[in-house]
Amino acid sequence: GAGVSQSPSNKVTEKGKDVELRCDPISGHTALYWYRQRLGQGLEFLIYFQGNSAPDKSGLPSDRFSAERTGESVSTLTIQRTQQEDSAVYLCASGGTNTGELFFGEGSRLTVL
Amino acid sequence: GENVEQHPSTLSVQEGDSAVIKCTYSDSASNYFPWYKQELGKRPQLIIDIRSNVGEKKDQRIAVTLNKTAKHFSLHITETQPEDSAVYFCAVSWGEYGNKLVFGAGTILRVKS
């Protein structure tokens, strides 16, 4: 596609359930980022991929959070045993090899009841 | 890690006036400084960026200035219009490969007509 696609756009889940969020970056973009944005807040860095490798996982809030990327393309962010504080919009962004413009997806809005 | 501070958190200006948003950062090795605009319910989009080898960059009504010695950079919007109302985020490249983007907390800009 022409832009970054994320799915689902909205997800409501019960506390304790696992969720998977998907990101399809722009074709050919080697860099892929996940950010979390709580309501009215800034962009919190979670994890960054260069190709299929994640040189920086420092932003993952806890071991309940994990992410992978395959084929230098699709990435999945998994949150296990969700908690209410996980409620947020999870934004994915992709970019070229060198630091430059990031193109963001529309985000996946997660609500944990 | 990199620490990015953004001020002010909210800014109200009259249509036609100028708006200035400032960010400071901590890592002197950072070399890329973009600004993103996020309209309500939309994804962040790049509006202007600057690299460390220049001190100023201008694109129509928007300009960014960089002071590497003082480790701060600013966004200037002249002749503000109602459609400039949005949240603006500064970001700084950081990390071993300089390709991790750390964002400021954001500035809510309201342009009153």
pLDDT digits (tens, 9 = 90+) for A32-91: 999 999 988 889 999 989 899 998 788 899 999 999 999 989 999 999 999 999 999 999
Contact yes or no for B49 and A101 at CB 8 A: yes
The closest CB to that of B43, out of A99, A101, A107, belongs to A107
The answer to whether the beta carbons of residues B73 and B66 sit under 8 Å apart is yes
Which pLDDT does position A2 carry in this prediction? 77
Nearest Cα neighbor of A96 from A7, A44, A23, A33 is A33
Contact yes or no for B97 and A91 at CB 8 A: no
Nearest Cα neighbor of B108 from B1, B20, B5, B11 is B11
Which residues make beta-bridge pairs with A45? A35
Task: Mutate one of A45, A58, A90 to test the B interface: name it (highest B CB count within 10 A).
Answer: A45
Tokens found for residue A5: 């696609």
Q: How far apart are CA A74 and CA A68, in angstroms?
A: 8
Tokens found for residue B100: 């991790």
Task: Give me the sign of the Cα torsion angle B94, A51, B43, A35.
Answer: negative
The DSSP letter of residue A85 is: G
The closest CB to that of A33, out of B32, B101, B104, belongs to B101
* Contacts for A102 with CB less than 8 Å, ≥ 6 apart: A31, A33, A93, A94, A95, B34, B46, B101
Which pLDDT does position A86 carry in this prediction? 97
The identity of residue A92, as a single letter, is: C
Confidence band (pLDDT; 50, 70, 90) for A9?
Answer: very high
Confidence band (pLDDT; 50, 70, 90) for B93?
Answer: confident
Q: Up-side HSE of residue A38: CA atoms within 13 Å toward CB? A: 9
Q: Average pLDDT in the B34-58 region?
A: 92
Which pLDDT does position B91 carry in this prediction? 94
Minimum CA–CA partner of B103 in chain A = A43
Tokens found for residue A76: 């999945």
